A and B are shown apart, each in its own frame.
Chain A
Amino acid sequence: MRKPIYFDYSATTPCDPRVAEKLCQYLTLDGEFGNPASRSHPYGWDAEKAVEEARGHVAALIGADPKEIVWTSGATESDNLAIKGAAHFYSRKGKHVVTCKTEHKAVLDTCRQLEREGYEVTYLDPEANGMVDLKKLETAIRPDTVLVSIMHVNNEIGVIQDIAAIGRITRERGVIFHCDAAQSAGKIPIDVNAMNVDLLSLSAHKVYGPKGIGALYVRRKPRVRIEAQIHGGGHERGMRSGTLATHQIVGMGEAFRIAREEMPAEAERLRALRDRLLNGLQDIEEVYVNGDLAHRIPGNLNISFNFVEGESLIMALKDVAVSSGSACTSASLEPSYVLRALGRSDELAHSSIRFTLGRFTTEEEVDYTIGLVKGKIEKLRELSPLWEMYKEGVDLNKVQWAAH
């Protein structure tokens, strides 16, 4: 067993060896290194062919036409291009955007930028289980609303939003619908037409492809217009200039092709492993799953161990690579804004750990981790004054803490 055991597949995934092998064929003199934009020789033609084949694989995974795929540097750029691009293009219609407080920072920070430019943004509160209330969303849409941006799957808690239902609302109200699908692509089915999504952000490195490449789906029927954010040679039909990174694009295409083929079997395997992990950890007293368990991708388990602080637990679990809902490891001492938006207490938010399982996770790794976590939780609770008080029957909510 390789240690630390990797349980952070939502942060990034390793390249699938099949992806890496194919990608390497598009770099050197012996391979296809040409510029896909070169029209005058076979180097360019062959590279272009590879790029278009990859475009087809990406389109196929989401039920789109290849012409609707625009290559970007990743999901962050796709979110920026979609949100700023659509808001700018349709600014004469109105300057109001609707999103949710649990969106990724790439969406929230882009919305903040629009606010600085004079737009108004409504940030919806999710329900306690992480789901967006459709009625609240519908009421938030105004005559001057141009865009709704709701993610498909949340990166921290893995909760799946009802994108098809949201798409019905936005289509009916004539509002552009952007969906960040960085965490859902390759994990659960996506059909941009059935879901009435107009703009959809994708990333390669969450799907066993390389980092630094992503795509934005831009609907053609009915046509959705966006203003370019990067200007230059007019690549990607003017929506995103810059020489195409053939090797990365080929890698993303291969990763998405494999994902489409293996998704059903992989999802089932991951769900079984995740449930095994959950069942093992639920033996421990005072554990809470964050976010809805039924509407959740198979590989995610976000769980709080009450009375144990997240960063110290991560330190104790040094044989396991996980991430903490507490941002204590960074400069701020804020607990996860996603868990806070769900109404989780600060204590539980500080005590959360995100396990994300993936293609190379094994049963042996899961079983080892269950044993390890149990032991470390016991040790840290021995150290915890809060656990001692809880065991003595003290209601921690009634204690007057000397906050600092």
Chain B
Amino acid sequence: MAYSDKVLDHYENPRNVGSFDKADNSVGTGMVGAPACGDVMKLQIKVNEQGVIEDARFKTYGCGSAIASSSLVTEWVKGKTLEEARQIKNSQIVEELALPPVKIHCSVLAEDAIKAAIEDFQGKQGAKENDDASSSAARVEYEFGGKR
């Protein structure tokens, strides 16, 4: 199969490979896919106090298009608020990487990974509040999309 230049570029020089500490409260981790299906994506976002994604990391088990899709979204989510990141659609990934129809599931997986990471991060903020009654300010902060 012929890959687009952009897929090849991301595959050969993947951006933001690595991991953050899952336990860190400012980190959201999304893990989607299954080994049996041939692809697993782990996407992590680091969110600052303003609710903006400061940094992102990924690791992907899967074909070149899956690796490229996840590498691409780590670039896209950086600097976005959680709400903005949630708006990223798989069709944008398909367009950017010129993915053929058989590889569209890779872009769907990348979109799901973003949503899962955001959910994980927001879940942590909720849990923190339960642990610590004094964090109601933090709760408000995140409930309103991270804007004070």
Chain A residues in contact with chain B, CB under 8 A? 307-312, 315, 326, 328-331, 333, 335, 345-347, 350, 382-388, 396, 401-404
> Bound complex: CA of A35 vs CA of B59, how far in Å?
62
Does the CB pair A333–B38 fall under 8 Å? yes
Cβ B36 vs Cβ A383 within 8 A: no
* Docked CA distance A238–B62 (Å): 51
A158 to B50, CA, bound (A): 59
Q: Is the interface of B mostly helix, strand, loop or mixed?
A: mixed
> What is the minimal beta-carbon distance from B16 to any residue of chain A, in angstroms?
11
B1-52 contacts to A (CB < 8 Å): 1, 3, 11, 14, 17, 19, 31-42
**Complex alpha-carbon distance, A330 and B60, angstroms:** 20
A350: chain B residues within 8 A (beta carbon): 35-36, 38
Contact A386 B35 (CB under 8 A): yes
Across-interface contacts of B102 in A (CB, < 8 A): 330-331
**How far is A326 from B62 in the complex, measured between Cα atoms in Å?**
11
Does any Cβ of A come within 8 Å of B146's Cβ?
no
Residue tally, chain B, CB below 8 Å to A: 31
The reply to whether A384 and B3 contact each other, CB–CB distance below 8 Å, is: no
Q: 28 pairs across A/B with beta carbons < 8 Å?
A: A307-B61, A312-B63, A315-B63, A330-B102, A345-B36, A346-B35, A346-B36, A346-B38, A350-B35, A350-B38, A382-B17, A383-B14, A383-B60, A384-B61, A385-B40, A385-B41, A385-B61, A386-B40, A386-B61, A387-B61, A396-B35, A401-B34, A402-B34, A403-B33, A403-B37, A404-B34, A404-B108, A404-B112
Closest B residue to A403 by CB, please name it.
B34
List CB contacts (< 8 Å) of B52-72 with chain A.
59-64, 66-67
With the chains together, A383 CA to B58 CA distance in Å? 8
Q: Given A346-B38, A383-B59, 7 other A-B contacts at CB below 8 A?
A: A312-B11, A328-B38, A347-B36, A385-B42, A385-B61, A401-B33, A401-B36
